[in-house]
Amino acid sequence: MLHILTKGPDSDVARQLQQAIADDDAIVLIEEGVLAALDGRWEGWTLYKSRIYLLAEDVAAWGLGELIDSETFATVDMQGFVGLTEQHTQTLTWY
Amino acid sequence: MLHILTKGPDSDVARQLQQAIADDDAIVLIEEGVLAALDGRWEGWTLYKSRIYLLAEDVAAWGLGELIDSETFATVDMQGFVGLTEQHTQTLTWY
Amino acid sequence: MEYGLLVMGAPYTSPAPHSALRFAHAVLTQGHRLNGVFFYHEGVHNASSLMAPPQDELNLREAWVELHETHQVSLDVCIAAALRRGVMNEAEAKRHGKTSYNLEAPFELTGLGQLLTLQQRCDRLVTFA
Amino acid sequence: MEYGLLVMGAPYTSPAPHSALRFAHAVLTQGHRLNGVFFYHEGVHNASSLMAPPQDELNLREAWVELHETHQVSLDVCIAAALRRGVMNEAEAKRHGKTSYNLEAPFELTGLGQLLTLQQRCDRLVTFA
Amino acid sequence: MEESNSLLVIIRHAPYSSNLLREGLDAALVAAAFGQPVDLLFLGQGVTALLKEQGIAAPGMKATRPTMDMLEMYDIEQLWTSEETLVALNLTRSDLRDNVQLIEAHALPAFMKSYSQILNF
Amino acid sequence: MEESNSLLVIIRHAPYSSNLLREGLDAALVAAAFGQPVDLLFLGQGVTALLKEQGIAAPGMKATRPTMDMLEMYDIEQLWTSEETLVALNLTRSDLRDNVQLIEAHALPAFMKSYSQILNF
């Protein structure tokens, strides 16, 4: 399953999402969700960092481009986001 | 100042509100805000319980009437809410 | 005391307009004067005359109109917030080349200056959002 | 693959319609087929023909219409969600005794069954809310 | 729920905080009316719709209880929530309606995967 | 800011997450145009509007930066945020525009009380 998180790491929906992640699931952070990149303490990073992708256009729009180390985060552009939805038979948006 | 909190204790706005409370401020919990009554760990209860009021109609609407001990919480009805806005020269809504 | 309300939530999406309306009636019951209600952000949808909720639900627009008729409360809608959300009166509709419109008196399209005036004129401005 | 989108955010309030539109174009660029977009909850405001954003901003309704015209994407709007929020076509306006309306083709008012059909017919349903 | 078109509707919003609960339930009811197998999962504040006392409408707003009561008539009998959800709101199983089933901590991902379609409200 | 009609506009929402930032700034600009003394306080995600890099618009959405740049033209020169806000988002003063002033932890209530009027966006 591909989870799409649209809210920040402090939101109650980010906590709801965490209950729902299976071992082979991936997560795309879009819109406000990209703010998780500022929060190193967010549990998501410890639990499944290798399966988390930031939407590049939203990282730029939210002004985070130079604040975060792009080497340590996996980003996708819109085409890459579509690619992730191809790979997973289900997508679930958390908003 | 009278603060009106409309979101649950887990929300980021509940955390923003906490920075803003002065010693002589009061807080009314309305709408989703009444859910704080279920959360004994909410910092608001430790820090300024004596100045927090629950809007009675929203407590009933959210189905919390019998779940919470009405002796330990101060509630106001809509008239009482208006009364609180009379006593404080400023009101500030957190949503 | 003189009260003013700022409403920023949409009907049937946010509980804010319902809370605001109940607060408005309690203000009047207590003998205060309710000077005006300013609709901003998503609150502009409260003014839509095309709103058609199921019959067993309160029609928020009608409830505001009744408040205006009974207590002379002005109902001001921010024009910039309204236009971008598809809420406009006949004059704006003409200006934008539309044949339909969905805002009528007693709701009035005004600028944000009206909100600041309301805040300065009233003893209390209470926001519902 | 066949894609369907569910849009539940309003223009100029939520970023969801913007994200959905960009996603839609990327889906088409990748050679997939975009079967339809279903507008629900606050998303129904995307269909409003009375929307008049400032000229330097994208008119979301026009962007959806262009998507329909270029790629034959159906634009379905939940009728129950639309009516309570003040979005209706000419037929519904007549039925409710209104002289104005704000939903026109290519947007169509339909029931929720259309959303379930879209979900079953498509390989992927992606929600923006 | 191994059927190929089984639908899970997730409800995460409280009755009067937005119209999402109502519009989520409507989607579930329509799916059931179309003969699609539907289950409901309540997470976060959505679980307050399952409180026994729920249903006294907020003044001026439509009550949720009648819609909740309609679910059975449409053969939506499986109402689920998760242990984490109850813990987060300090609720216990006995605060909820009788026909609610509890998903154990860590079992949620597998539970969700058993549905071919999901809508998240 | 001891003037009797001083206005504090609080911005708590990020540039592209809703229109609240934009509509809050509009309120501040109109107040300033009317000659009312106005200050801006950025809390929570609102502080991301102050990021140096802020202003590359999300594709299809109007950029925030031009409005932020207009503030000075309207004599809104005092942009404030709080230490707690920066800590919560792991930001430092140097990530922000030059004309931002920091309110120390615990000083926020007194700061807010110094304004005769407040609008919270």
Which of chain D's residues have a Cβ under 8 Å away from the Cβ of E117?
119-120, 125
Q: What is the pLDDT of residues A16-64, one digit of tens each?
A: 999 999 999 999 999 999 999 999 899 999 999 999 999 999 999 888 9
- Structure letter (DSSP) for residue C39: E
DSSP reduced 3-state for F114: coil
pLDDT tens for residues E71-100?
A: 989 989 889 999 999 999 999 999 999 999
Residues of F with CB under 8 A from a CB of B: 12, 43-45, 82, 84-85, 88, 105, 108-110, 112-113, 117-118, 120
Boundaries of every domain in chain C: 2-128
Torsion (CA) E112, E114, E116, E120 in degrees, nearest 10: -10
Residue type, D58: L
> How large a percentage of chain D has pLDDT more than 90?
98
pLDDT value at F53 more than 80: no
Residue with tokens 């006995």: E94
In one-letter notation, the amino acid at residue D71 is H
CA distance linking residue B84 with residue C81, whole number of Å: 31
Reported as a single tens digit per residue, the pLDDT across B58-88 is 998 888 988 888 788 999 999 999 999 999 9
CA distance E13 to C62: 27
Cα–Cα distance for residue pair E102/C103, rounded to 1 Å: 48
Dihedral sign from CA coordinates of C71, C76, C77, C78: negative
Going from the C-alpha of B73 to that of each of B7, B15, B28, B84, F65, the distances in angstroms are 18, 21, 12, 16, 45
Q: How confident is the model at residue F16 (pLDDT cuts 50, 70, 90)?
A: confident
The pLDDT assigned to A9 comes to: 94
Q: Which two tokens stand for residue E14?
A: 């409280």
Q: Residue D65 — φ and ψ, nearest 5°?
A: -60, -40
Report residue F56's pLDDT band, with 50, 70 and 90 as the boundaries: low
What single DSSP character describes residue D56?
T
Residue E3, pLDDT score = 54
> How far apart are the CA of E17 and the nearest CA of chain C, in angstroms?
6
pLDDT reading at F47 higher than 70: yes
- 3-state secondary structure at position F82: strand
User: What per-residue confidence (pLDDT) applies to E1?
Assistant: 42
Helix, strand, coil distribution of chain C in percent, nearest 5: 40, 20, 35
Cα distance between residue A30 and residue D6, in whole Å: 16
> What's the token pair of residue A66?
């130079």
Residue D121: what are its φ and ψ, rounded to 5°?
-80, -30
Distance of CA C108 to CAs C36, C78, C88, C111, C113, Å? 11, 9, 10, 10, 13
- Residue linked to tokens 């996996």: A74
F55 pLDDT exceeds 60? no
Distance (Å, whole) CA B51 – CA B44:
10
Element (H, E) at E118: strand E117-120
- Residue of F16, F45, F90 lying closest to A61 (CB–CB): F16
Look at residue D60 and tell me whether its pLDDT is greater than 60. Answer: yes
Q: Are E47 and E91 in contact (CB under 8 A)?
A: yes
What are the two backbone dihedrals, phi and then psi, of residue C7, each rounded to the nearest 5 degrees? -115, 120
Which amino acid belongs to residue C129?
A
Q: What is the mean pLDDT of residues C42-57?
A: 95
Q: How far is CA C31 from CA B57, B86, C64, E12, F51, in A?
A: 21, 12, 19, 40, 48
* CA atoms of D79 and C111, how far apart (whole Å): 32
Beta bridge partners of D78: D110
Helix axes F20-33, C113-121, angle to 10 degrees: 70
Q: Is C35 helix (H, G, I), strand (E, B) or coil?
A: strand
CATH superfamily of D2-128: DsrEFH-like (3.40.1260.10)
Cα E77 to Cα E40: distance, rounded to the nearest angstrom: 9
Q: Do E30 and D40 touch (CB under 8 A)?
A: no
Judge whether E49 and E64 are in contact, CB under 8 Å.
yes
pLDDT of residue F1: 42
* pLDDT band for position E2 (cuts 50, 70, 90): very low
Residue among D124, A59, C129, A50 at smallest CA distance from F20: C129
Distance CA D106, CA D47 (A): 9
H-helix segments, E1-121 = 20-33, 65-73, 83-88, 108-113
Residue F103 C-alpha, separation from nearest chain B C-alpha, in angstroms: 11
Q: Residue F30 above 80 pLDDT? A: yes
- In this prediction, residue D108 carries a pLDDT of 98
pLDDT digits (tens, 9 = 90+) for B5-53: 999 998 999 999 999 999 999 999 999 999 999 998 999 999 999 999 9
| D121 at interface of E, judged by CB pairs closer than 8 A | no
- The whole-angstrom distance between B64's CA and the closest CA on chain C is 17
E23, two tokens: 């519009």
Q: What is the pLDDT of residue F3?
A: 54
Q: Please tell me which chains touch E, using 3 or more CB pairs under 8 Å as the contact test.
A: A, B, C, D
Q: How many CB pairs under 8 A join A and B?
A: 9
pLDDT band at E57 (very low <50, low <70, confident <90, very high): low
Residue F104: DSSP 8-state: P
Give yes or no for a contact between F14 and F48, defined as CB atoms under 8 angstroms apart.
yes
CATH number of the domain located at residue range(s) E7-120 in this protein: 3.40.1260.10
Q: Is residue E58's pLDDT more than 80?
A: no
Helices (H), F34-90: 65-73, 83-88
Which pLDDT belongs to residue F2?
46
Burial (CB count <10 Å: 0-12, 13-18, 19+), residue C37: buried
Q: How confident is the model at residue E18 (pLDDT cuts 50, 70, 90)?
A: confident
Instruction: Map out the domains of chain B with their CATH numbers.
Output: 2-94 (3.40.1260.10)
Catalytic residues of D: 78
Distance CA D99, CA A87 (A): 49
CB contact at 8 A, E29 and E63: no
- The arithmetic mean of pLDDT across residues C52-64, rounded, is 94
Instruction: Please indicate whether, in this complex, the C-beta atoms of B61 and E53 are within 8 angstroms of each other.
Output: no
Banded pLDDT at D29 (limits 50, 70, 90): very high
Q: A residues 19-38 near E, CB within 8 Å?
A: 19-23, 25
